[in-house]
Amino acid sequence: MNIDLQAIEDAARELYIRALKVLPPDIKQGFERLVGSESVPRAQGVLRTMVTNIEVAERTDNLLCQDTGVPIYNLRIGSGVEFDGHALKAAIRRGCERATREYPLRSSVVHPLTRRNEHTSCGIEVPVIHIDFVDTTDFLDIEMIPKGSGSENNSFLKMAIPAEGIDAIKTFVVDCVIAAGGKTCPPTIVGVGLGGTSDLCVALAKRAATRPLGTRCDDPDGALLEDELSHAVNQLGVGPQGLGGDSTAFAVHIELAATHITMNPIAVNMQCHSARRARASFTPTGVHYGF
């Protein structure tokens, strides 16, 4: 299957706009679940206000949040797809720039030293583009995630001592949620990366934080720990927007990798309640949009 680079560019543009304006169904269902289980009246009121904000934004074709985030594009490419990798990434960058200039969107991306904003949502190494490969033949999938700074600023890494075992993981995750408090605009998805090297561990935490609600860690021990930590963080009383209550997190998600016998890396990355993402799948029948 050959890839039309213009179609990739158009999809990159469209995905950025879609992700900023329409919240995925699993997140909306997560809100319904939290509203039904929240025991603190004030927290219930905060959750209902957040739900109203989502409804108004979508009804009036406005952005869910003013923070357009750092644009992230995750690609999965099938074995039968022919493409020029450099040209593919350039097409995605052009689409990201077009979304910012043509829609227009606020550009949140600046140079880390000069703080210069090119007003394109692009810069050195941004948009962030991750490419992976799948065994499906004629298939290319692009997931777009605008990662806001409120949640991204609350990212943590600990190179724990292996002898501390699982207790170190539990303590670190709980401590991170407490430290983040209301700064992450909870309820959040708490992403936890375990194992690998320091850089892989942080990447796993990001992958976990941006996974759809309702999905589980592929590793059975990881899935059990997800359940335990999800219950634990919602006993902390942080609550929606940090104002108290049971609804601190939609869930804790875990992704893990093998690691060295002398290492126990743990990373935490959080996603705010506006857990935005959009997806475009390219097949021989055309381009299909979803979440």
Q: What angle do CA 221, 130, 128 make, to 5 degrees?
A: 120
pLDDT higher than 90, residue 168: yes
Q: How far apart are CA 198 and CA 264, in angstroms?
A: 10
Q: Determine the average pLDDT of the residues in 74-80.
A: 95
Q: What confidence tens digit (pLDDT) does each residue in 80-110 have?
A: 999 899 999 999 999 999 999 999 899 999 9
Q: Determine the average pLDDT of the residues in 148-160.
A: 96
Query: What's the pLDDT at 24?
Result: 98
Strand partners, 264: 160
Query: What's the pLDDT at 250?
Result: 98
Q: How far apart are CA 105 and CA 66, in angstroms?
A: 9
Q: How far apart are CA 187 and CA 177, in angstroms?
A: 11
Q: What confidence tens digit (pLDDT) does each residue in 185-236 have?
A: 999 999 999 999 999 999 999 999 999 999 999 999 999 999 999 999 999 9
For the whole model, what pTM was predicted? 0.95
Query: What's the pLDDT at 3?
Result: 86
pLDDT higher than 90, residue 270: yes
Q: What confidence tens digit (pLDDT) does each residue in 119-142 have?
A: 999 999 999 999 999 998 899 999
Q: How many CA atoms lie within 13 A of 111 on its CB side?
A: 6
Query: What's the pLDDT at 256?
Result: 98
Which residues of the chain are in CATH 3.30.1330 domains? 5-20+64-148+276-290
Sort strands 249-256 and 188-194 into parallel, antiparallel or unpaired: parallel
Q: What angle do CA 60, 63, 68 make, to 5 degrees?
A: 170
Q: What confidence tens digit (pLDDT) does each residue in 273-290 have?
A: 999 999 999 999 999 999
Note whether 190 and 175 are within 8 A (CB).
no
Q: How far apart are CA 265 and CA 197, in angstroms?
A: 7
Query: What's the pLDDT at 16?
Result: 98
pLDDT higher than 90, residue 262: yes
CATH class of 5-20+64-148+276-290: alpha beta
Q: Which DSSP string do the residues of the chain spell out, in sequence order?
A: -B--HHHHHHHHHHHHHHHHH---HHHHHHHHHHHHH---HHHHHHHHHHHHHHHHHHHTT--S-S---EEEEEEEEETT-B--HHHHHHHHHHHHHHHHHHTT-----B-TTT--B-SSS-BTTBSEEEEEEES-SS-EEEEEEEE-HHHHTSEEEEEE-GGGHHHHHHHHHHHHHHHHGGGG-SSEEEEEEESS-HHHHHHHHHHHHTSPTT---SSHHHHHHHHHHHHHHTTS---GGGSSSS-SEEEEEEEE----TT-EEEEEEEE-SS---EEEEEETTEEEEE-
Q: What confidence tens digit (pLDDT) does each residue in 16-72 have?
A: 999 999 999 999 999 999 999 999 999 999 999 999 999 999 999 999 999 999 999
CB atoms within 10 A of CB 203: 18
Query: What's the pLDDT at 92?
Result: 98
